[in-house]
Structure 1
Amino acid sequence: MHKVEDAPVTVPQTVFGFDFGIKRIGVAMGNTMIGQASPLAVIKSIDNQSRFAEIKALIDKWGPTRFIVGLPLHPDGAEHEMTARCRRFANQLHGRFDIPVELVDERYSSAVLSQKRGEVIDDRAAAVILQQYFDQLPY
């Protein structure tokens, strides 16, 4: 018979979710203990150096151990131009920060959000993507 103190201890991990876009990148944060994602930031930098500098500042502040990147696909699952860009972004994240990256199907994630004209929802879309990841974890 196992005692409670014999049970393996699972350390909560901070996880970042990304909704990649050409003009903006939405960032969300959550942890594996609570399993709930929250919007964190919208990165509006236009060049890679500035984008990754802002991401680095968030990493330094929050210390994530895993990245989740939304992978856009056509409704039938076919890939398109943004799919390749998101894969490249995910590879760059892993290469620059040496943090594991997982891709999550982001089809319909923006449809979950009601968007008012001109409202930036990228951080909330990132939270939906990250929540999809948390929802499939075996707790």
Structure 2
Amino acid sequence: MHEDAPRPAVTSGVWLGLDVGTRDLGVAVGNELTGRARPLKTLAMQPEALMWTTLDAMVSEWAPGGIVVGLPLTREGGEQPMSKRARRFAAAVEQRYQRPVVQHDERGSTQVAKRRFAGERAAGNARRKHAVDIDAHAAAVILEDYLALAGH
């Protein structure tokens, strides 16, 4: 598993982005050619079997060449309690799907996602009921940030 290391070789230009929370998992899909990502879905982390079954289906459908997992860090860039959980989850994802997994600093992603969502609502492109998918929007922000830094 890489942590913002040189970009691993992937077999597809499609990437999935994951924002791991205590209750929810945000999922986004992106393309390394365009550097763009879009939110797909927010999954409940419990029951765990259902979360994995749903994620399995998404990995099968999108066939990503790599997966980016957000790494929660403190404002100063240090580890925090959620960092360990995200690392364990990233290791499980890598083992389960046998694809390159990269952990990427997710600081500020939720705030950016909320601002984007507010802009979409103001433009009439999103409804309040979609606010529950903010974790999926954050996953898209994390993925786009990674793709931009990786040179896409």
Instruction: Give a deviation string over 1:31-63, Cα, whole Å, max 9, x none.
Output: 111110110111124032221111100011111
The structure with the larger Rg is 1
Task: Quote the Cα distance in structure 1 between the aligned partners of 2:51 and 2:16.
Answer: 15
Q: Any conservation in 2 of the 1:75–1:107 contact (CA below 8 Å)?
A: yes
Gaps of 5+ in 2: 1-10, 119-127
Gaps of 5+ in 1: 1-10
Which residue number in structure 1 is paired with residue 13 of structure 2?
13
TM-score of the superposed pair, with normalisation by structure 2: 0.78
2:137 is matched with: 124
Instruction: Find the counterpart in structure 1 of residue 149 from structure 2.
Output: 136
Partner of 2:22: 22
The TM-score with structure 1 as length reference comes to: 0.85
**8 A contact 1:20–1:70 mirrored in 2:** yes
- 1:60 is matched by which residue type in structure 2? S
What is the alpha-carbon distance in structure 1 between the residues aligned to residue 137 and residue 17 of structure 2?
Answer: 10
What's the C-alpha RMSD, in Å, of the aligned pairs? 2.1
Deviation string, structure 1 residues 49-78 (Cα, Å, up to 9, x no partner): 221111100011111110000000110112
Contact 1:28 1:41 in 2 (8 A): yes
- 1 CA distance for matches of 2:68 and 2:101? 6
Q: Percent identity?
A: 36
Within 2, Cα distance between the matches of 1:22 and 1:72?
12
Structure with higher helix content? 2
The DSSP-based 3-state class of the residue aligned with 2:114 is coil
Matched, 1:36 2:42: no
Larger relative contact order (C-alpha < 8 A, sep ≥ 6)?
A: 2
Task: Give yes or no for contact 2:12–2:65 (8 Å, CA) kept in 1.
Answer: no
What SS is found at the alignment partner of 1:59? Answer: helix
